[in-house]
Structure 1
Amino acid sequence: MTGTARIEAVGTASPPTSYSQAELLELFRIEDPRIRSIFLNSAIDRRHLTLPPRGDNGAFRMEVQGELLAKHKRQAVDMGTRAITSCLSSAGARLSDIGYLCAVSTTGFLTPGLSAHLIRELGIDPGCSRLDVTGMGCNAGLNALNAVAGWAGANPGKLAVMVCAEACSAAYVFDGTMRTSVVNSLFGDGAAAIAVTAGAVTAGERGESAGPAAPRLLRFASHIITDAIDAMRYDWDDDQDRFSFYLDPQVPYVVGANAESVIGRLLAGTGLRRSDIAHWLVHSGGKKVIDSVMVNLGLTAHDVRHTTGVLRDHGNLSSGSFLFSYQRLLDEDIARPGEYGVLMTMGPGSTIETALVQW
C-alpha cells in the first residue's frame, strides 16, 4: 500500500432553513397515510431544504424545470463556496494555495460547470486546474476523490480540493405517487469540501500551520452491479415535464449483497481483515441501505454511528454525505496513528465505491 495523498481537512455547509419530517408533511398538506408513514419512519429527524415558492392559494407551487436549474445553480454556488472556505480554514490554507479544484454535483446541470462558477465567486486563480463530475449520483464524491488523490500524487506539495454540492431541493417532483414520495422523504441539501495533498508541505507554503498528521488515502476499489443499472436513475419524466429520480425498492438489498465482495477486493493483499478496520464511514443512503450494509459486513450500530447521525440530522446528502460523516469522526478526535478506516458510498449504476485510509 503506497498511497501518498492524504486528507488535510474537510468543511461542510447547508442552507439556513431546516424542517422536521412532521413539519414537511404539514407544510405540503400531505394526508395520505402511506406517504406519511414513509416520512415518519425514515430514521430522519430534520433536513436542510429550500422549499418552492407559494402560489396565490398559499400552497407550494410546482417549479418548472428552468426554475429548478436556477435553484441548483444558486444553492450549489452558495453552499460550495462556504464549504470550501470552511475546509481551507481547517487546513490552514488560502484560496491562492488551490492548484486543483474538482466540483461534484448531480442535482442540476451547468455549462460552464460548477467549478468555473466557484472559481469566479471565490476569486480562485483562473489558472487553477479543474474537473467537473456530473451525473454519477451518490457515489460520485468517493469516485472523484480517487481522481483528486491521483492529481495530488502527481503534483506533490500542491493543494487539491474537491467539493460536492447537492441542491436536492432542485430535483423534486410532487405528483403524489409512492415513487416520488420515497425520494421526497429522503434527500436534503448540503455541500462538503475536502483538501488533499501529497509530499511534504511546510507551514511557509501554507502561510499557517499545516495542522496535525492526516490520514493517507491508500487505495480505492469500485464495483458496478450492471444487472441493476436502472435501479437508481435520474431521467426525464414526460408526464411531469422535468427530471425525476427513481429508486427501486430492491436497492438496499442489491447494495448489501454486493458490499462484501468489494470490501474484500479493497483489502485484498493488505493483510487486513474487516475486524482490523477501526473506523467505517458509510454513505447515509437511507435506513434500509445502512441496515443492509451492516448485516452483510457484520458491522455494529457503533461502527455506523456517524452515518446514522448524518441521516438523522440531514437526510441523504447525495455525493457529499460521507464527508459529513468524516467531519463527525474528526470532531470526536478518537482516530489514532496507525488505525485504518474505510470510506464507502453507493449510487446509480448500481455502484459501490470504497477507499482505504490510514492515520
Structure 2
Amino acid sequence: MTLTADLTVPELICLPAPDAGAPPAAAQIVGVGTAVTGTAYSQRELLDLFRIEDPKVRSVFLNSAIAQRHVTLPPRGEDGAFLPEPQGDLLRKHRRVAVDMACRAVRRALADAGAGLTDVEYLCCVTSTGFLTPGLTALVIRELGIDPSCHRVDVVGMGCNAGLNALNATSAWAKANPGRLAVMVCAEACSAAYVMDSSMRTAVVNSLFGDGSAAIAVRAPEGVDAGPAGSLRILGFRSILITSALDAMRYDWDDEQHKFSFFLDPQIPYVVGAHAEQVVGELLAGAGLRRRDIGHWLVHSGGKKVIDAVRVNLGLTRHDVRHTTGVLRDYGNLSSGSFLFSYERLLRERVVAPGDFGVLMTMGPGSTIETALVQW
C-alpha cells in the first residue's frame, strides 16, 4: 500500500499589524444633563423678599441682564423675614442641595448617553460652594448606588473655571481607558455661599449667582469604533493663570459676618478680556486653526460685563455668545457648570454639523482662563 500526503501549504490570510504608533482616540462627550433647584425668582422678587430698599443695590440687581435665578431661600421667622444662616447651616444646605442636583443631572446625562448607573467607572465631582469630607463623589455614589469601586476625583474650590479643569482630568482617564464610561458633574449650591450686608461688594455677588448642576458622560471609542453620531470630540486644552490678578476673585473668611464671603474685583471683566485673545490664540495655533474656523463658542456665563469683554476682545458677535447670555438671563451665573448649560442649549438647536469646531471657555479665581478645543 502506498500512502500519499498532501503537503500543500494553505494560503495564509495576512492581517495588517496593529499600528503601535497610532495615537489613542480622543475622548468624546456622549451625553449631557442639567438640574436646578425647584423655584425660580426674578431679580425684583428677590429684592422684595429680602426687603432690600437701597436704590444702589436695587440698581445692581435690576441691571444685571438676569431675568431670573433658581435659589434656595433661607428659613423665615415669625414676622416673615428671613432668618440668618450661620456657616454651619450653609454647609448643611450645600450638602443637601448639591447632592440632590448632582444626582438628577447625572441620571439625565446617562439617559442621554443611553447608559445606566452600572456603566459608570469613573466619577468626577466639581464644587466651590461648600466644603465636605467625604466629598460629593462619595455622597453621590452612595445616593445613586454606583459601584463603590468606581474611580473618583473631587475638584473643590477652584471656582467658576473648574468645569474645564475637571473635564481635562475626566477626558484623560477616558482616553486611557477606551470603551469605559466616565461621568463628570458640576454641582454648585450658590445659595449656600452668600453674605448679606449693606455693602456694594456683597450686592454684586448676591445679584449674580444661582443654584445649578450639569453632568456629562465621557467615553473614548474602542478599536475602530468612531463613537456615537453627534458626540463631541475633545481635542485639547489651554489655560492661563493671571498671577498679577491673584486676589481679584476670592472666597475667604469674613471675620465680621463669621462666614465665607466671595469677593469680585470690579476690574475682573477687563483683566479677563485682555488675556482672552492670548489663550485662545495658543489653543487654536496648536491645531493649526484660526478664530474664523470656529463655528461654536460656549463661554462661561460669568456676568454681563465679563461676557462683553470676552466677546469684544475675541471679535465675536452677539449671536456667537447667544447661549452664554441666554443662560445668564434664565439662570444667572451657575459657576463651574454654566458652560454645559450652554452646550445643552446648542445641541437642542440642531445646528451643529459633523466636522464643526468649537471652543469652550471658562473663567474664575486665580485669575484663570481655561479653554478647550472640540469637534463634532
- What is the TM-score with the length of structure 2 in the denominator? 0.92
In structure 1, the partner of 2:262 is 245
Structure 1 counterpart SS, 2:38: coil
In structure 2, the partner of 1:207 is none
In structure 1, the partner of 2:237 is 220
In structure 1, the partner of 2:310 is 293
1:195 to 1:129, Cα distance in 2 relative to 1, 3 A: same
1:41 to 43, 47, 63: 63
- 2:351 pairs with 1:329: no
Partner letter of residue 306 of structure 2?
V
Contact 2:357 2:375 in 1 (8 A): yes
- 2:361 pairs with 1:339: no
The size of the alignment, in residue pairs, is 353
Structure 2 counterpart SS, 1:138: coil
- 2:198 pairs with 1:164: no
Partner letter of residue 22 of structure 1?
R
Structure 1 counterpart SS, 2:351: coil
Query: Percent identity between the aligned chains?
Result: 71
The structure number with the bigger radius of gyration is 2
Once the two structures are TM-superposed, the CA of residue 57 in structure 1 deviates from its matched residue by 2.2
Contact 1:161 1:193 in 2 (8 A): yes
What pairs up with 1:105-184 in 2 under 5 angstroms? Answer: 105-184=127-206
1:327 to 1:108, Cα distance in 2 relative to 1, 3 A: same
**Counterpart Cα distance in 2 of 1:202 and 1:77:** 37
Superposed CA deviations along residues 123-160 of structure 1, whole A, max 9, x for unmatched, are 00000000000010000001110000000001000000
1:325 to 1:11, Cα distance in 2 relative to 1, 3 A: same
**Counterpart Cα distance in 2 of 1:202 and 1:96:** 24
In structure 2, the partner of 1:194 is 216
Superposed CA deviations along residues 11-64 of structure 1, whole A, max 9, x for unmatched, are 000001110001001111111110000000000000000000112321112100
**Counterpart Cα distance in 2 of 1:62 and 1:226:** 36
2:274 to 234, 239, 257: 257
Once the two structures are TM-superposed, the CA of residue 2 in structure 1 deviates from its matched residue by 7.3
Partner letter of residue 351 of structure 2?
I
In structure 2, the partner of 1:231 is 248
In structure 1, the partner of 2:294 is 277
Once the two structures are TM-superposed, the CA of residue 202 in structure 1 deviates from its matched residue by 11
Question: RMSD of the alignment, in Å?
Answer: 1.4
Structure 2 counterpart SS, 1:357: strand
Unaligned runs of 5+ in 2: 1-22
2:37 to 3, 11, 15: 15
Partner letter of residue 353 of structure 2?
R
1:69 to 1:158, Cα distance in 2 relative to 1, 3 A: same
Structure 1 counterpart SS, 2:196: coil
In structure 2, the partner of 1:91 is 113
Contact 2:105 2:213 in 1 (8 A): yes
**Counterpart Cα distance in 1 of 2:327 and 2:366:** 24
Partner letter of residue 253 of structure 1?
Y
What pairs up with 1:23-102 in 2 under 5 angstroms? Answer: 23-102=45-124
Partner letter of residue 281 of structure 1?
L
1:2 to 1:226, Cα distance in 2 relative to 1, 3 A: farther
2:337 to 314, 320, 332: 320
Contact 1:3 1:216 in 2 (8 A): no
Partner letter of residue 318 of structure 2?
A
Structure 2 counterpart SS, 1:343: strand
**Counterpart Cα distance in 1 of 2:77 and 2:276:** 45
